[in-house]
Chains A and B, each alone.
Chain A
Amino acid sequence: MTDTNASFPARVTAGFDRFGGVLWLPVLLAIVALLLIGQPSTWATLTIAGLAMGMMIFLMASGLSLIFGLMDVLNFGHSAFVTAGAFIGATVLAWLGFWVTGSNPALNVMGLLIAITVATVFGALAGWFFERVVIRPVYQDHLRQILITVGALIVAEELVLLVWGGAPIPVPRPAALTGSFVLGGVSVEIYRIFAFLLGLAVYIAMYLVLNRTRLGLLIRAGVENREMVEALGFRIDRLFILVFMAGSALAAMGGAMWAGYQGLITAAIGSEMMILVFIVVIIGGLGSIQGSLLGAILVGLMANYVAFLMPKMALASNMLLMMTILLWRPYGLLPAVKR
């Protein structure tokens, strides 16, 4: 990357990268926001909300990014897993009834964890089915892949409507995770902390799998050069189905978390989030987990700050963010493949 005869801008970029480079962007964004907002307590609340939202988006985006990185498969049906996760999570929470609404915090948290687990397992199984039936026949054919996954998205959304109907569904939120506490004059919603910690745990787990295991080594290599991994004797399609299942499971987990955060869900929940997820994947760099995390946090912060400063511009601001970053780095901030 840093050739000795690199041009001047390349060397500046290299120096910039050495000091953490793009990783400071969220910090920069937060500082600018603090200056614009003015009140530290409001800023802190927004920052926490942004981080929590970012982590939930990360859950949804990381799988999509890895799936794309490994197989060049962009699953436009990914949002169906988010929607399914949200509805299954909400249904399980409703079933558990007293567990969730009762006053025993241990049961509360347990209830939420069960709901998230069920959603995640469903996501993995649905991912397996989806990969086998929908995607496998059209590997390597981008056009048909986009068409088929869009078709599958339509069908999946209709199925959700068939099962749960079109009316918005309330999501019971566990009593122990409802409400907020005040810390140094800043009111902090408990659910946001929970969401942030869960996202962080998933990120750490993914990081360890990718960097400490042979499976992770294979995935990282496959993202860079699928053909060479096959030429070394590994069945990349078997690897891919695992990654696909994991990615779908994470999307469903993110959906379940988001459902709990929203409190009221409709069948459009997945497609609404998908725009942000796509923006995250694009600005983060396809195929990169770190990139997804960075992108998700940037998008989460941006959405919350702008929603406070200029409510009408919230989504457009993230679009502008994407455009700016694409102009600066056409392959995203932290692309997986070293060029």
Chain B
Amino acid sequence: MLQASASGTSARKAGRTRGHQGGRFVVYALVGLIGLALALAPFLFPDVRSQEVAARICVFIVLVASYDLLIGYTGIVSFAHTMFFGMGAYGTAIALKSMGPGFEAILIGGGAGIIAALVLALLIGLLSLRVKAIFFAMVTLAAASVMMVLASQLSDFTGGEDGITYSIPRLFSPAFELLTDAEGKALRLFGVPLNGKIALYYFVFITALVLFLALLRIVASPLGSVLQAIRENEMRAEAIGYRVVFYRTAIFCIAAGVAACAGILRAVWLKYTGPEVVLSFDIMIDILLMVVIGGMGTMLGAVIGVVLMTLAQYYLKDLMAVGAEATASLPIVPDLLNPERWLLWLGLCFILLVYFFPAGIAGTMMGKGGHK
């Protein structure tokens, strides 16, 4: 196991480190720019759809970065990440529905979701992180599917396929005015009314930022180097005395907890929670694509991957529709350009990327990550 997978990396590694200063700078600049754009999003892109895109990007950066902690830094492939995401979202949603739109509902429901995610992660981790990576991937896939079925079948509790719609605290509603002008209307800044919608966006943005910085802190900590050691050579790490299963389970729990937090944000922003938006396998695929496209094991790659994929999701489909219309007279081509088939192209790009740039965008530019 060890021999074949590990051989040949060192030769490549040596050549990588130099000559990536420029690339590193580009990545930092890009991430900084994205951060700035997100921070000012309500003023830069005030229309409803752009707001939606920006908030989704914030939530997914947290979700994908926490997944990167697993796959990129620890080499664990889990298909249960949306399950934890969903637990946070459903916890919040159910509490908001039953307790009414208050912050205590978000706190209690979200907290319950996080705790449930942690407990489940601990169980799965202890049960199956001992065995091979592939085995673990299968177990998590099975667990996630069961959770999905449960969510759609326990409809008294979760609203089934239809999901749950609920209200959120008044502070976050568009009707709430943060600051009022002389006429008693919401004060406008750069022509944008300072209402609850802005408050909600900044609630999502700042929480996401804090979580992302926390993840960055984790990978820069001594724990991060332990993870590195484990990933590079499991047997050696075990021999040195790191309790591999313990660390992996710990990381799996941390990632699950952060994913649940992202779920809370998603639930509060959308005012709706259902299997399609928080649990479905499509989201898991999205996360996987985002982390690989951005660059595994870089954290910053998560930011780039999420932005790229989300923009593609929202805007590439429009482009494909235009293309399909323009080529309507040709055979097959319009079918291939049908916006519904966009995953086909994404899948192909993804395969090529994994072949030729396994380090992803950020990893390739910074000359790191994308191990093996």
Q: A interface vs B, CB < 8 Å?
A: 68, 72, 74, 76, 134, 137-138, 140-144, 146-148, 150-152, 154-155, 157-159, 161-162, 166, 271, 275, 278-279, 281-282, 286, 312, 315-316, 319, 322-323, 326-327, 330-331
Q: Are A148 and B137 in contact (CB under 8 A)?
A: no
The residues of A that contact B5 with a CB separation of less than 8 Å are 140-142
Q: How far is the CA of A146 from the CA of B289 in the complex (A)?
A: 12
Q: Does B22 contact A (CB under 8 A)?
A: no
- Size of interface on B: residues with Cβ below 8 Å to A: 47
Q: Are B128 and A151 in contact (CB under 8 A)?
A: no
- Nearest B residue to A155 via CB reads B347
Which one of B96-104, B197-205, B338-346 contacts A? B338-346
Q: Are A271 and B281 in contact (CB under 8 A)?
A: yes
Q: Are A74 and B351 in contact (CB under 8 A)?
A: no
Q: Does B328 contact A (CB under 8 A)?
A: no
Given A150-B285, A158-B343, A326-B127, residue A144 in contact with residue B358 (CB < 8 A): yes
CB < 8 Å: which of B127, B131, B142, B292 contacts A279? Answer: B142
CB < 8 Å: which of A76, A158, A319 contacts B344? Answer: A158
The residues of A that contact B138 with a CB separation of less than 8 Å are 74, 278, 281-282
Q: B interface vs A, CB < 8 Å?
A: 1, 4-5, 71, 75, 77, 127-128, 130-135, 137-139, 141-143, 145-146, 149-150, 153-154, 281, 285, 288, 292, 296, 335-336, 340-341, 343-344, 346-348, 350-351, 354-355, 358, 371-372
- Nearest A residue to B291 via CB reads A147
Q: How far is the CA of A315 from the CA of B141 in the complex (A)?
A: 13
Q: Are A152 and B347 in contact (CB under 8 A)?
A: yes
Q: How far is the CA of A80 from the CA of B289 in the complex (A)?
A: 19
Q: How far is the CA of A79 from the CA of B133 in the complex (A)?
A: 20
CB < 8 Å: which of A143, A150, A282 contacts B139? Answer: A282
Q: Are B344 and A159 in contact (CB under 8 A)?
A: yes
Contacts beyond the supplied A143-B296, A146-B134: 19 A-B pairs with Cβ under 8 Å? A143-B77, A143-B133, A143-B371, A144-B372, A146-B133, A147-B288, A151-B348, A154-B285, A154-B344, A154-B350, A155-B348, A155-B351, A158-B343, A158-B347, A162-B344, A275-B141, A286-B135, A315-B146, A319-B145
CB < 8 Å: which of B154, B343, B351 contacts A152? Answer: B351
Q: Are B134 and A74 in contact (CB under 8 A)?
A: yes
The residues of B that contact A326 with a CB separation of less than 8 Å are 127-128, 139
Q: Are B341 and A161 in contact (CB under 8 A)?
A: yes
Q: Are B77 and A316 in contact (CB under 8 A)?
A: no
Question: Can you spell out 5 A-B residue pairs with CB atoms less than 8 angstroms apart?
Answer: A141-B5, A144-B358, A151-B347, A322-B142, A331-B131
Q: How far is the CA of A96 from the CA of B341 in the complex (A)?
A: 30
Q: How far is the CA of A315 from the CA of B150 in the complex (A)?
A: 9
> Which 6 A-B pairs give the minimum distances between C-beta atoms?
A154-B347, A158-B344, A155-B347, A319-B146, A151-B351, A74-B134
Q: How far is the CA of A141 from the CA of B6 in the complex (A)?
A: 9
Q: Are B141 and A146 in contact (CB under 8 A)?
A: no
Given A148-B354, A278-B141, residue A155 in contact with residue B344 (CB < 8 A): yes
- Nearest B residue to A68 via CB reads B134
The residues of A that contact B281 with a CB separation of less than 8 Å are 271
CB < 8 Å: which of B143, B150, B292, B348 contacts A147? Answer: B292
CB < 8 Å: which of A162, A275, A282, A286 contacts B145? Answer: A275
* Shortest Cβ distance from residue A185 to the other chain B in the assembled complex, whole angstroms: 33
Given A137-B355, A278-B138, A330-B130, residue A154 in contact with residue B4 (CB < 8 A): no
Q: Are B288 and A150 in contact (CB under 8 A)?
A: yes
The residues of A that contact B350 with a CB separation of less than 8 Å are 147, 151, 154
The residues of B that contact A134 with a CB separation of less than 8 Å are 351
Q: Are A316 and B149 in contact (CB under 8 A)?
A: yes
- Nearest A residue to B332 via CB reads A162
Q: How far is the CA of A224 from the CA of B144 in the complex (A)?
A: 31
- Nearest B residue to A311 via CB reads B153
Q: How far is the CA of A72 from the CA of B77 in the complex (A)?
A: 15
CB < 8 Å: which of A148, A161, A275 contacts B351? Answer: A148
Q: How far is the CA of A279 from the CA of B145 in the complex (A)?
A: 11
The residues of A that contact B150 with a CB separation of less than 8 Å are 316
* Shortest Cβ distance from residue B335 to the other chain A in the assembled complex, whole angstroms: 6
The residues of A that contact B340 with a CB separation of less than 8 Å are 161, 166
Q: How far is the CA of A327 from the CA of B135 in the complex (A)?
A: 14
- Nearest A residue to B139 via CB reads A282
The residues of B that contact A322 with a CB separation of less than 8 Å are 139, 142
The residues of A that contact B296 with a CB separation of less than 8 Å are 143
Given A142-B5, A315-B149, residue A282 in contact with residue B135 (CB < 8 A): yes
* Shortest Cβ distance from residue A147 to the other chain B in the assembled complex, whole angstroms: 5
Q: How far is the CA of A161 from the CA of B335 in the complex (A)?
A: 10
Q: Are A315 and B344 in contact (CB under 8 A)?
A: no
The residues of A that contact B347 with a CB separation of less than 8 Å are 151-152, 154-155, 158
The residues of B that contact A74 with a CB separation of less than 8 Å are 134, 137-138
- Nearest A residue to B131 via CB reads A330
Q: How far is the CA of A72 from the CA of B137 in the complex (A)?
A: 13
Q: How far is the CA of A322 from the CA of B143 in the complex (A)?
A: 10
The residues of B that contact A162 with a CB separation of less than 8 Å are 335-336, 341, 344
The residues of A that contact B132 with a CB separation of less than 8 Å are 72, 142
